[in-house]
Amino acid sequence: MSTLEFHNVVKEYRLRGGWHGRTLKAVKDVSFAIESGKTVALVGQSGSGKSTIAKLLMQLERPTSGQILFDGVPVQNRGAGLRQYRRDVQMVFQDPFASLNPFHTVGHHLARPLKLHGKAKTAEETDVAVAELLTRVRLDPEMAAKHPHEMSGGQRQRVAIARALAPQPRILVADEPVSMLDVSIRLGVLNLLADLQRAENLGVLYITHDLATARHFSDEILVMYQGEIVEAGPSDEVILNPQHPYTQLLAEAAPNPEKRLAL
Protein backbone atom coordinates (compact mmCIF):
# COMPACT_ATOMS: atom_id res chain seq x y z
CA MET A 1 0.00 0.00 0.00
CA SER A 2 1.57 3.21 -1.14
CA THR A 3 0.30 6.73 -1.22
CA LEU A 4 1.52 9.79 -2.96
CA GLU A 5 0.35 13.13 -1.67
CA PHE A 6 0.54 16.69 -2.89
CA HIS A 7 0.27 19.24 -0.08
CA ASN A 8 -0.42 22.82 -1.13
CA VAL A 9 1.96 22.56 -4.06
CA VAL A 10 2.66 25.77 -5.97
CA LYS A 11 4.74 26.06 -9.11
CA GLU A 12 5.68 29.41 -10.55
CA TYR A 13 7.62 30.00 -13.74
CA ARG A 14 9.61 33.15 -14.20
CA LEU A 15 8.87 34.66 -17.58
CA ARG A 16 11.60 36.41 -19.48
CA GLY A 17 11.21 39.73 -21.20
CA GLY A 18 10.14 43.16 -20.03
CA TRP A 19 11.68 45.17 -17.25
CA HIS A 20 9.91 43.38 -14.45
CA GLY A 21 10.35 39.65 -14.19
CA ARG A 22 6.78 38.46 -14.43
CA THR A 23 5.81 35.11 -13.01
CA LEU A 24 3.33 32.58 -14.28
CA LYS A 25 1.54 30.51 -11.69
CA ALA A 26 1.17 27.18 -13.45
CA VAL A 27 -0.01 25.33 -10.36
CA LYS A 28 -1.72 27.12 -7.51
CA ASP A 29 -1.99 25.50 -4.12
CA VAL A 30 -2.85 21.99 -5.26
CA SER A 31 -3.47 19.12 -2.83
CA PHE A 32 -4.51 15.58 -3.66
CA ALA A 33 -3.53 11.97 -3.01
CA ILE A 34 -3.02 8.86 -5.12
CA GLU A 35 -3.30 5.40 -3.54
CA SER A 36 -2.27 1.97 -4.74
CA GLY A 37 -5.06 0.15 -6.48
CA LYS A 38 -6.94 3.27 -7.42
CA THR A 39 -7.07 5.36 -10.53
CA VAL A 40 -7.36 9.08 -10.20
CA ALA A 41 -8.15 11.12 -13.28
CA LEU A 42 -6.87 14.64 -13.62
CA VAL A 43 -9.07 16.46 -16.09
CA GLY A 44 -8.65 19.89 -17.57
CA GLN A 45 -8.13 21.81 -20.77
CA SER A 46 -4.72 22.50 -22.28
CA GLY A 47 -2.76 25.02 -20.26
CA SER A 48 -4.58 24.19 -17.06
CA GLY A 49 -1.42 22.83 -15.41
CA LYS A 50 -1.98 19.10 -15.82
CA SER A 51 1.38 18.37 -17.35
CA THR A 52 3.14 20.60 -14.82
CA ILE A 53 1.66 18.39 -12.12
CA ALA A 54 3.09 15.36 -13.91
CA LYS A 55 6.52 17.00 -14.12
CA LEU A 56 6.42 17.97 -10.44
CA LEU A 57 5.37 14.47 -9.54
CA MET A 58 8.24 12.95 -11.51
CA GLN A 59 10.75 15.38 -9.96
CA LEU A 60 11.51 16.85 -13.36
CA GLU A 61 10.57 20.22 -11.85
CA ARG A 62 10.81 21.41 -8.27
CA PRO A 63 7.79 22.96 -6.61
CA THR A 64 8.07 26.66 -5.67
CA SER A 65 6.39 25.82 -2.38
CA GLY A 66 4.45 23.00 -0.84
CA GLN A 67 5.33 19.38 -0.28
CA ILE A 68 5.18 16.11 -2.16
CA LEU A 69 5.02 13.11 0.17
CA PHE A 70 5.50 9.47 -0.72
CA ASP A 71 4.25 7.12 2.00
CA GLY A 72 4.21 10.12 4.31
CA VAL A 73 7.86 11.04 3.70
CA PRO A 74 8.92 14.12 1.72
CA VAL A 75 10.37 13.12 -1.64
CA GLN A 76 14.11 13.70 -1.97
CA ASN A 77 15.17 15.16 -5.26
CA ARG A 78 18.70 13.82 -5.48
CA GLY A 79 20.86 10.84 -4.67
CA ALA A 80 19.74 7.46 -3.46
CA GLY A 81 16.41 8.80 -2.22
CA LEU A 82 15.48 9.98 -5.68
CA ARG A 83 16.62 6.67 -7.19
CA GLN A 84 14.36 4.78 -4.80
CA TYR A 85 11.51 7.16 -5.64
CA ARG A 86 12.04 6.58 -9.37
CA ARG A 87 11.73 2.86 -8.74
CA ASP A 88 8.36 3.39 -7.08
CA VAL A 89 6.88 6.12 -9.26
CA GLN A 90 6.99 5.93 -13.03
CA MET A 91 5.47 7.76 -15.94
CA VAL A 92 4.10 7.17 -19.43
CA PHE A 93 4.60 10.20 -21.62
CA GLN A 94 2.03 11.75 -23.89
CA ASP A 95 3.71 11.45 -27.26
CA PRO A 96 5.09 8.00 -28.11
CA PHE A 97 6.76 9.49 -31.19
CA ALA A 98 8.88 11.74 -28.96
CA SER A 99 9.37 9.68 -25.82
CA LEU A 100 11.40 6.92 -27.49
CA ASN A 101 14.90 7.72 -28.68
CA PRO A 102 14.97 7.20 -32.47
CA PHE A 103 18.56 5.98 -32.26
CA HIS A 104 17.98 3.06 -29.90
CA THR A 105 16.14 -0.22 -30.17
CA VAL A 106 13.10 -1.17 -28.14
CA GLY A 107 15.33 -3.60 -26.25
CA HIS A 108 17.60 -0.75 -25.14
CA HIS A 109 14.66 1.29 -23.89
CA LEU A 110 13.47 -1.59 -21.73
CA ALA A 111 16.87 -2.92 -20.64
CA ARG A 112 18.12 0.40 -19.22
CA PRO A 113 15.53 0.81 -16.43
CA LEU A 114 15.81 -2.92 -15.65
CA LYS A 115 19.56 -2.56 -15.15
CA LEU A 116 19.37 0.80 -13.39
CA HIS A 117 17.02 -0.53 -10.76
CA GLY A 118 18.74 -3.88 -10.35
CA LYS A 119 15.88 -5.92 -11.79
CA ALA A 120 18.23 -7.74 -14.15
CA LYS A 121 21.99 -8.23 -13.97
CA THR A 122 23.35 -10.51 -16.67
CA ALA A 123 22.62 -10.22 -20.39
CA GLU A 124 20.44 -13.35 -20.39
CA GLU A 125 18.41 -12.13 -17.43
CA THR A 126 17.87 -8.83 -19.21
CA ASP A 127 16.76 -10.52 -22.42
CA VAL A 128 14.27 -12.66 -20.52
CA ALA A 129 12.96 -9.68 -18.57
CA VAL A 130 12.62 -7.57 -21.74
CA ALA A 131 10.69 -10.35 -23.48
CA GLU A 132 8.47 -10.71 -20.46
CA LEU A 133 7.77 -6.96 -20.35
CA LEU A 134 6.85 -6.96 -24.03
CA THR A 135 4.48 -9.88 -23.52
CA ARG A 136 2.86 -8.08 -20.64
CA VAL A 137 1.98 -5.13 -22.87
CA ARG A 138 0.80 -7.63 -25.51
CA LEU A 139 3.62 -7.11 -27.96
CA ASP A 140 5.66 -9.75 -29.74
CA PRO A 141 8.96 -10.30 -27.83
CA GLU A 142 10.69 -10.24 -31.22
CA MET A 143 10.03 -6.52 -31.27
CA ALA A 144 12.96 -5.92 -28.92
CA ALA A 145 15.25 -5.69 -31.95
CA LYS A 146 13.20 -3.00 -33.65
CA HIS A 147 13.72 0.72 -33.75
CA PRO A 148 10.88 3.08 -32.80
CA HIS A 149 10.39 4.30 -36.37
CA GLU A 150 9.55 0.75 -37.45
CA MET A 151 6.53 0.64 -35.17
CA SER A 152 3.04 2.11 -35.16
CA GLY A 153 1.95 4.71 -32.63
CA GLY A 154 0.02 2.15 -30.58
CA GLN A 155 2.99 -0.22 -30.50
CA ARG A 156 5.29 2.59 -29.42
CA GLN A 157 2.98 3.61 -26.62
CA ARG A 158 2.94 -0.02 -25.44
CA VAL A 159 6.73 0.06 -25.38
CA ALA A 160 6.57 3.28 -23.35
CA ILE A 161 4.18 1.57 -20.92
CA ALA A 162 6.51 -1.44 -20.70
CA ARG A 163 9.42 0.89 -19.94
CA ALA A 164 7.46 2.52 -17.14
CA LEU A 165 6.60 -0.89 -15.70
CA ALA A 166 10.20 -2.13 -15.83
CA PRO A 167 11.26 -0.92 -12.35
CA GLN A 168 8.05 -2.44 -10.92
CA PRO A 169 6.57 0.85 -9.69
CA ARG A 170 3.77 1.33 -7.17
CA ILE A 171 2.45 4.52 -8.74
CA LEU A 172 2.11 5.19 -12.47
CA VAL A 173 1.50 8.58 -14.02
CA ALA A 174 -0.05 8.47 -17.48
CA ASP A 175 0.08 11.91 -19.10
CA GLU A 176 -2.58 11.87 -21.83
CA PRO A 177 -1.38 8.42 -22.91
CA VAL A 178 -3.71 8.12 -25.87
CA SER A 179 -4.18 11.68 -27.12
CA MET A 180 -1.51 11.21 -29.81
CA LEU A 181 -2.88 7.86 -30.95
CA ASP A 182 -5.35 7.00 -33.62
CA VAL A 183 -8.90 6.89 -32.29
CA SER A 184 -9.32 3.24 -33.29
CA ILE A 185 -6.51 2.01 -31.03
CA ARG A 186 -7.05 4.29 -28.03
CA LEU A 187 -9.39 1.89 -26.25
CA GLY A 188 -6.89 -0.97 -26.63
CA VAL A 189 -4.15 1.02 -24.91
CA LEU A 190 -6.48 2.28 -22.17
CA ASN A 191 -7.79 -1.23 -21.50
CA LEU A 192 -4.22 -2.46 -21.29
CA LEU A 193 -3.43 0.23 -18.72
CA ALA A 194 -6.53 -0.66 -16.72
CA ASP A 195 -5.66 -4.40 -16.78
CA LEU A 196 -2.10 -3.72 -15.65
CA GLN A 197 -3.37 -1.41 -12.93
CA ARG A 198 -5.58 -4.19 -11.58
CA ALA A 199 -2.95 -6.90 -11.93
CA GLU A 200 -0.21 -4.90 -10.20
CA ASN A 201 -2.43 -3.03 -7.79
CA LEU A 202 -0.95 0.18 -9.14
CA GLY A 203 -1.98 3.65 -8.17
CA VAL A 204 -2.58 5.49 -11.43
CA LEU A 205 -2.80 9.20 -12.11
CA TYR A 206 -4.56 9.39 -15.46
CA ILE A 207 -4.14 12.82 -16.94
CA THR A 208 -6.58 13.58 -19.74
CA HIS A 209 -8.94 16.09 -21.24
CA ASP A 210 -11.46 13.43 -22.10
CA LEU A 211 -14.26 13.25 -19.52
CA ALA A 212 -15.77 10.06 -20.91
CA THR A 213 -12.65 7.91 -20.52
CA ALA A 214 -11.87 9.61 -17.21
CA ARG A 215 -15.23 8.49 -15.88
CA HIS A 216 -14.92 5.01 -17.31
CA PHE A 217 -11.40 4.23 -16.14
CA SER A 218 -11.03 6.05 -12.84
CA ASP A 219 -12.40 5.92 -9.35
CA GLU A 220 -11.91 9.57 -8.65
CA ILE A 221 -11.82 12.69 -10.79
CA LEU A 222 -9.96 15.93 -10.14
CA VAL A 223 -10.99 18.82 -12.33
CA MET A 224 -8.30 21.36 -12.96
CA TYR A 225 -8.85 24.88 -14.22
CA GLN A 226 -6.17 27.55 -14.53
CA GLY A 227 -3.78 25.85 -12.17
CA GLU A 228 -6.29 25.05 -9.48
CA ILE A 229 -8.25 21.94 -8.65
CA VAL A 230 -11.78 23.27 -8.78
CA GLU A 231 -13.60 20.05 -8.11
CA ALA A 232 -12.72 16.62 -6.78
CA GLY A 233 -14.70 13.53 -5.92
CA PRO A 234 -15.81 10.07 -7.00
CA SER A 235 -16.10 9.81 -10.78
CA ASP A 236 -19.82 9.38 -11.18
CA GLU A 237 -20.59 12.15 -8.76
CA VAL A 238 -18.35 14.64 -10.48
CA ILE A 239 -19.75 13.83 -13.91
CA LEU A 240 -23.41 13.41 -13.05
CA ASN A 241 -23.67 16.14 -10.47
CA PRO A 242 -21.05 18.75 -11.24
CA GLN A 243 -20.86 21.61 -8.73
CA HIS A 244 -18.33 24.00 -10.21
CA PRO A 245 -19.40 26.03 -13.27
CA TYR A 246 -16.36 24.86 -15.22
CA THR A 247 -17.15 21.19 -14.59
CA GLN A 248 -20.75 21.83 -15.57
CA LEU A 249 -19.52 23.35 -18.80
CA LEU A 250 -17.26 20.35 -19.45
CA ALA A 251 -20.04 17.87 -18.72
CA GLU A 252 -22.39 19.80 -20.99
CA ALA A 253 -19.90 19.78 -23.81
CA ALA A 254 -19.37 16.02 -23.71
CA PRO A 255 -21.52 14.26 -26.30
CA ASN A 256 -24.32 12.29 -24.73
CA PRO A 257 -26.00 9.72 -26.96
CA GLU A 258 -28.96 9.38 -24.61
CA LYS A 259 -29.93 13.01 -24.73
CA ARG A 260 -32.20 13.73 -27.66
CA LEU A 261 -31.86 16.93 -29.50
CA ALA A 262 -34.93 19.11 -29.49
CA LEU A 263 -35.27 19.72 -33.17
Partner 1 sequence: MEQTLEAPRASAAAAVQPKKRQRRPRSAKLMAGLIIAGAIALFGILGPLFLGDPNAISNDTLAAPGNGMLLGTTQTGQDVLAQLAHATRGSLTIGVLVGAMAIVASAFFGIVGAYIGGWTDETFSLITNVMLVIPGLPLVIVISSYVPDKGLLLIAGVLALTSWAGGARVLRAVTLSLRNRDYVAASRVSGEKTWRILMVEILPNLMPILASQMVFAVIFAILGEAGLAFIGLGASGTWTWGSMLFYAQNGLALRLGAWWWFVPPGLLIAVFGAALSLINFSIDEIINPKLRDQTLAARKRWNTPRTKKLTVPGTEKTSS
Residues near partner 1 (CB under 8 A) are 58, 60, 82-83, 86-87, 90-91, 93-95, 98-104, 112-113, 116-117, 138-140, 142-143, 145-147, 150, 152, 154-155, 158, 160, 163, 166-167, 184-185, 188
Smallest gap from Cβ 199 to partner 1, in A, equals: 17
Closer CB to partner 1, 83 or 248, in the complex: 83
Smallest gap from Cβ 204 to partner 1, in A, equals: 16
- In our burial notation (b when 16+ CB lie closer than 10 A, e otherwise), range 214-228 reads bbebbebbbbbbebb
Smallest gap from Cβ 147 to partner 1, in A, equals: 7
Closer CB to partner 1, 16 or 260, in the complex: 16
Nearest-5° angle of CA 134, CA 206, CA 248? 150
Smallest gap from Cβ 150 to partner 1, in A, equals: 8
Instruction: Give the span between the Cα atoms of 53 and 91, in whole angstroms.
Output: 12
Smallest gap from Cβ 115 to partner 1, in A, equals: 10
Collapsed DSSP state (helix, strand, coil) of residue 51: helix
| Residues 63/10, Cβ–Cβ less than 8 Å | yes
Smallest gap from Cβ 188 to partner 1, in A, equals: 5
| Residues 221/229, Cβ–Cβ less than 8 Å | no
Closer CB to partner 1, 194 or 232, in the complex: 194
Instruction: Give the span between the Cα atoms of 110 and 107, in whole angstroms.
Output: 5
For residue 3, list its beta bridge partners.
35
Closer CB to partner 1, 58 or 232, in the complex: 58
Please say whether the dihedral angle defined by the alpha carbons of residues 197, 200, 203 and 204, taken in this order, is positive or negative: negative
Smallest gap from Cβ 158 to partner 1, in A, equals: 7
Closer CB to partner 1, 130 or 221, in the complex: 130
Closer CB to partner 1, 37 or 153, in the complex: 153
Q: 151: Cβ–Cβ under 8 A, 6 or more apart, which residues?
A: 106, 143, 159
What are the start-end ranges of the E strands in 144-227?
171-175, 203-208, 220-225
Instruction: Give the span between the Cα atoms of 39 and 221, in whole angstroms.
Output: 9
Closer CB to partner 1, 202 or 211, in the complex: 202
